[in-house]
Structure 1
Amino acid sequence: MSRPVFSELMAQIRAGKFVFTGELEPEKTIDLTETLEAARRLKGYVTACNVTDNPQAFAYISSLAASYIVQKETGVETIYQITCRDRNRIAIT
């Protein structure tokens, strides 16, 4: 019995296809205008976009929140990234 497919990324990987993903780096503010525009430009070229978490060790908007907004506003599937570098177990859960 195989697991159900929850995303286009999972479907393409399961089918053995070569997938392309893009990377989105949210701005340091809560204004995601540039990130949304970047996602729209990538749409059609990538299967999903990885939304980075605290790139270059600077505090940015939560990548979970940014992933949700990007996926809702653009229809581009997102991959939520979390780095454990600057977090303890309580912050991760």
Structure 2
Amino acid sequence: MVRVYSELMKALLSGKFVYTAEIEAGKTANLEGIIEKAKRLKGYVTAINITDNPGACAHMNPLIPSYVIQRDVGIETVYQLTCRDRNRLALTS
């Protein structure tokens, strides 16, 4: 038997229709707007996708808002990593 810790995975395995939303990581280090958006989505979505490099424009690393949203808002996040314009070294650092 496989243990499932992710609320998103539990919802998918149950066969229910699952809603997620996408939030851009932001161009500055200010997380207030991102947290406010996530709070408005709570109760409506199972998880929030945090985009990496949307539109090929530089943004904050999505790991930071992903962690803060899970910690402060309590919604599971999906950390997206874009491979475009990155070599193996850039992906691991």
TM-score, length basis structure 1 = 0.93
2:17 is aligned to 18
- Secondary structure, aligned partner of 2:45: coil
1:9-52 Cα shifts (integer Å, max 9, x gaps): 00011111110001111220010111100000000000000000
1:36 is aligned to 35
CA distance in 2, matches of 1:70, 1:60: 17
Displacement after TM superposition at 1:65 (Å): 1.6
What is the letter of the counterpart of residue 30 of structure 1? A
Count how many residue pairs are aligned between Structure 1 and Structure 2: 92
2:66 is aligned to 67
CA distance in 2, matches of 1:36, 1:86: 28
What is the letter of the counterpart of residue 40 of structure 2? R
CA distance in 2, matches of 1:73, 1:59: 25
List structure 1 segments (4+ residues) > 6 angstroms apart after TM superposition: none
1:54 to 2:56 alignment: no
CA distance in 1, matches of 2:40, 2:6: 20
